[in-house]
Amino acid sequence: MNEFQVIDSVMPDVPPPSAEQLLAARERILAAAPVSHVSMAGAGRRSWTGMALVAAAVVLVVGVVVALVPRSSVEPVAVTPMQKLEAAAARLAATPEANGRYWRRDTEHVVRTKSDHGYKVEERAMEALAFGPDREVYGWHEPVSSKPYTAEDLKAWRRDGSPKLCPARGCDKNMPAYSSTDLEAGLELADGLKPTLTELRSLPKEPAALKSRLLESYRPQVDTERERWLKEAASRLITSPAAPGTRAAAYLLLAKEPGITVVDDVPRTFGLDGLALQEKTGQGVRQIVIDRKTGHVLGRQWLAPDGVHHHAEIVRKVGWSDVRPVPPAGCVRCTTRL
């Protein structure tokens, strides 16, 4: 964890706005920015490319509005989770991506388990994965904290004199961080499908075309059956450095795969609040949670068969910049090359 992450994690945070506050702010701001007040001055200076992109963006927004607004003012049509996902995917596809030499993703891993002392604890760790311009890969896992998450266990822990719970920051002074398991996988999406960064960035941005392109790499001799292989590839694509349009297409591809449903009422145990691509597996339920407004992936969470959340991976930061990632001091084998 670098100094900025320390400041971010230690200094007090503010609670998110309530739905009422958000609505009030929205009305206040958008009331001051009505359509009729928009100046078209400077339109003549715009390039044809710019105009085409504006048109595309407006079409996307119109598409979103068409998807969300009931077709009849008399008889409102319910907005389905799938329609909301399509709107979110359109927003993601329209997102301009920041430029930079390095792509980096910081994910917080949260696991609910039982500690050596017998308390029910929530273990938190940060995991970083980054790719650089010269095929370099960076990846490390850094334990942050272990703390009781139920009132009873917190009380018991305090009663016992608040013993140090591990894994946590400071538990292992010789190895405060270690190599991430994602480091070796690099850009591998599924068995037999390991594109270069350039190939990944040029994948199709339309669901059917993306599906065809991915399946070109499927070989029947791999251990995984075709449907499972495709789901794995598309799921990994969502949190990869792929272009926003490709990631949006991966959402829609997955949503149409058998066994996957789109839901809009995910439990917020770990603070993830959004639409989810949900799949039931032998071990329970896996949810990929997507921000309703921006279309960006918020994280993944897993529920046990009894419906209890036990594990989440929350995307804290992701994107491109010119800042070269620096693994924590003492981190062994935390960089490699593709």
**Interface residues with another protein (CB under 8 A)?**
3-17, 21-22, 25-26, 28-30, 32-35, 38-39, 41-42, 46-47, 49-51, 53-54, 57-58, 61-62, 65, 91, 94-96, 98, 100, 124, 144-147, 162, 164-165, 168-170, 293-294, 317, 321-323
In this structure, are residues 292 and 313 in contact, taking their beta carbons and an 8 Å threshold? no
137, with CB counted inside 10 A (0-12, 13-18, 19+), is buried
Q: How far is the CB of 110 from another protein (least distance, A)?
A: 10
Nearer to another protein by Cβ, of 94 and 285: the residue is 94
Nearer to another protein by Cβ, of 55 and 215: the residue is 55
Q: How far is the CB of 129 from another protein (least distance, A)?
A: 16
Question: Left (φ > 0), alpha (ψ -120 to 50) or beta: where does 295 sit?
Answer: left
Closest CA to 254 of 63, 92, 89, 64: 89
Listed as own residue / partner, the contacts of 38-47 with beta carbons closer than 8 Å and 24 or more positions apart are none
Nearer to another protein by Cβ, of 108 and 182: the residue is 108
Q: How far is the CB of 301 from another protein (least distance, A)?
A: 17
Q: How far is the CB of 15 from another protein (least distance, A)?
A: 4
Q: How far is the CB of 120 from another protein (least distance, A)?
A: 14
Structure tokens at 5: 């992450």
Nearer to another protein by Cβ, of 226 and 293: the residue is 293
Q: How far is the CB of 1 from another protein (least distance, A)?
A: 9
Nearer to another protein by Cβ, of 120 and 213: the residue is 120
Nearer to another protein by Cβ, of 8 and 227: the residue is 8
Whether cis (ω within 30° of 0) applies to the bond prior to 76 is no
